Structure 1
Amino acid sequence: MTTPSHRRRSRPRRPTALVSAVAVAAVALVVSLAVAFRPGGGTTDVQDAAKPVAGTRVSDSPTAGTPSASASPQPSVSSASPTAPASASRSAAAATASARAKATTAAPPKTSTTGSLAGRIRPGVTYQGVATSYDVGNGDGACSFGPTSDVMTAAMNTADYETAQACGAYVAVHAGGKSITVRITNECPAPCQAGQLDLSRQAFAKLAPLSAGRIPISWNLVGSDTSDTISIRYKTGSTQYWCGIQALGHRNPLARLEVRTSGGWKRLARTGYNYFLSEQGTGCGAAIRLTDIYGEQLTVEGIAVKANVVQSTRVQFSRH
């Protein structure tokens, strides 16, 4: 009888299931006791172990695909940390920029900011030396300005004369609490030393008695307040094939004289007698460009080659 036999064989499974359930309960009890009595263990550990995984921060789980319930819109440490260094960098950069600004705006020596084209005699510099005197005669001198009734003139020592670069310069001379202004029209050769001025007798007398002969002085370059404009003169013998050009009445010392050519401006060499020469005739009769020691440039047009004729212009350098 197949059916009863089959039923009898299936009944004994109930006790087996019951035994299995008891065994599982016993194992669970043993595990619970083991956890409870481990060092530092307790019921709270069991509770913590049972917390849902949803309580874990997303940033702690590299496999999380979506933010968890505990995620907040507040910036994490990793997103906030670059802010502090950037702020510090901006502060440091601002401090550096401020320091640079102070260094830039600090007043530098006058010699470095003005008269960049000057030679030995520079604006803003006070020179020490001695003054002597001489008879200027008709007022002419090495600068080739020609006779003049102006007696407030001086001859510059050869070193500071510097191949006529001092010609036409105005200098203030100080001695014994007195000051005068003279124009350089001549050169004082040896034994005149660097810093020495050989004044006209009229100019010297305003500082000390002529009998003093030689007095200590200080002097410095100054600007002229003349309202006259500059004049141009071609040297005697000048033609379109050879010429010497001279500028007269310039308010500031002259640094360069150039002539216009087909290839651009050509700078002419200056002589010790204060003419600028074009020995091959280049630019003779063409436009002339004058540059003072401050870098100001003036262009003169329409000056014909007329030997030893003073021709007026309409230009003048700014006063400094």
Structure 2
Amino acid sequence: MHETTRQAARQRRRRRRLLVGTTTGVIVTGLLVCLVMTMQPDRKEDAGQATATAVTNAQETLPSASPGHEPSSASPSPSATSATPSASGTLAKASPPRSAAASKVSPRKAPVTTSLAGRIRPKVTYPGVATVYKAGVGDGACSYGPSSDMMIAAMNTTDYETSRACGAYIRVRAANGASVTVRITNECPLPCAPGQLDLSEQAFAKLAPVSTGRLAITWSLLSPDAVGTISIRYKTGSSPYWCGIQAIGHRNPLARLEVRTSGGWRQLARTDYNYFLSPDGSGCGGAIRLTDIYGEQLTVNGIAVRPDVVQPTRVQFARH
């Protein structure tokens, strides 16, 4: 009887332990399920943030668009608005992306500038003032000597630019519609201002009565049609040991004068009286190479060192 009772008691204790264990397992399992359910939305949110970050990085590392084209959908990266050197050497802000319609328009090409020109450049209209002077026989600072054509002018010192303006043909226009073409043979010293032209009486009279004395004008460089060929003159005192060389009658402004030496072409320095000097005599009497502001080069041979003698050539620069 007692043994039967003890066995029954042991069976009841085992059942209670199994029940407690099962209940505990269910509770633990429930807690784990709740924890999983609670954490699941967080994982989705994290995954979404990771994806957005990856897209942003991909936009920042897209390859640059080819010239004249821009990305059609990607947002600009921070570097798209950074300062970049402009053609002039200053820093300029890059333009923001254009619309899809605007991006189809071909970009404008920057205007081509003439690198060999000085202050006076082709296809530029300059405002200024015309004054008048008695030109006498037409000689002046450019050292051309007397002139049979009195449609001449003196260029202000700034634009004269150490004789770079010498020989240039200039079209001058007045507000009344009158115009005249002159050749620069002289320098107008201070107080002549930049843009100012001092015209011979004969040239000024084509625009207004000489008694007017002063006239608002605009002027521009001209490459005339009716000109002859270029001539060369050696300066007084020139020899095989020292020489000054001058070009006369060139259609376009002269940018360089070079002489051929045993070491190749040598560029000579230009004076304010419009001669190019070789102080040690190198190249004197040899081949001469002329370059205009457009970059055209002409080579002249057979010009002997004959001081103060105008020697014609058979060459001339092209018309522009």
**Same fold (TM > 0.5):** yes
Cα distance per residue 1:198-256 (max 9 Å; x no partner): 00011111111111111111101011213411111000110000000000110000000
2:130 counterpart of 1:121: no
Matches within 5 A, 1:189-228: 189-228=189-228
Specify whether residues 299 and 107 from structure 1 end up closer, same or farther in structure 2 by C-alpha distance, changes over 3 A only.
same
- In angstroms, what is the RMSD of aligned CA positions? 2.2
Residue aligned with 1:165, SS: coil
> SS at the partner of 1:96?
coil
Q: TM-score, normalised by structure 1?
A: 0.67
Looking at structure 2, the residues matched to 226 and 270 of structure 1 have their Cα atoms a distance apart, in angstroms, of: 27
The 1-side partners of 2:317 and 2:309 are apart by 22
Partner of 1:253: 253
Once the two structures are superposed, what CA deviation does each residue of 1:170-190 show, in whole Å capped at 9, x if it has no partner? 011111211111000000001
Q: Distance in 2 between matches of 1:244 and 1:210?
A: 37
1:278 matched residue in structure 2: 278
Bigger drift between 176-185 and 237-246 goes to 176-185
- Across the two proteins, how many residue pairs are aligned to each other? 226
What percent identity do the matched residue pairs reach?
70
Change beyond 3 A, Cα 1:260–1:193: same
Once the two structures are superposed, residues 62-110 of structure 1 have per-residue CA deviations (whole angstroms, 9 ceiling, x without a partner) of xxxxxxxxxxxxxxxxxxxxxxxxxxx9xx769739979933xx3533x
Matched residue type, 2:204: F
Which structure has the larger Rg over C-alpha atoms?
A: 1
Once residues 210 and 224 of structure 1 are traced to their aligned partners in structure 2, the CA distance between those partners, rounded to angstroms, is 26
Residue of structure 2 equivalent to 1:165? 164
Name the counterpart of 1:136.
135
Q: In the TM superposition, what are the counterparts of 1:56-135 in structure 2 within 5 Å?
A: 96=69, 102-103=106-107, 106-109=108-111, 112-113=112-113, 115-135=114-134
Q: Deviations over 1:292-312 (max 9, x none)?
A: 000000011111111111111
CA-to-aligned-CA distance 1:102-154 (integer Å, 9 cap, x gap) = 33xx3533xx33x3201010111111110000111011111011101111100
Report the Cα distance in structure 1 between the residues aligned to 2:181 and 2:160, rounded to whole angstroms. 17
Q: Deviations over 1:18-45 (max 9, x none)?
A: xxxxxxxxxxxxxxxxxxxxxxxxxxxx
Unaligned segments of structure 2, at least 5 residues: 1-61, 71-101
Go from structure 1 to structure 2 and tell me whether the alpha carbon gap of 1:181 and 1:240 turns closer, same or farther (over 3 Å shift): same
One-letter amino acid of the counterpart of residue 214, structure 1: R
User: Which amino acid letter does the alignment assign opposite residue 102 of structure 1?
Assistant: S
Distance in 2 separating the partners of 1:266 and 1:207: 43
CA change 1:95–1:302 in 2 (3 A) is closer
Letter in 1 for 2:295: G
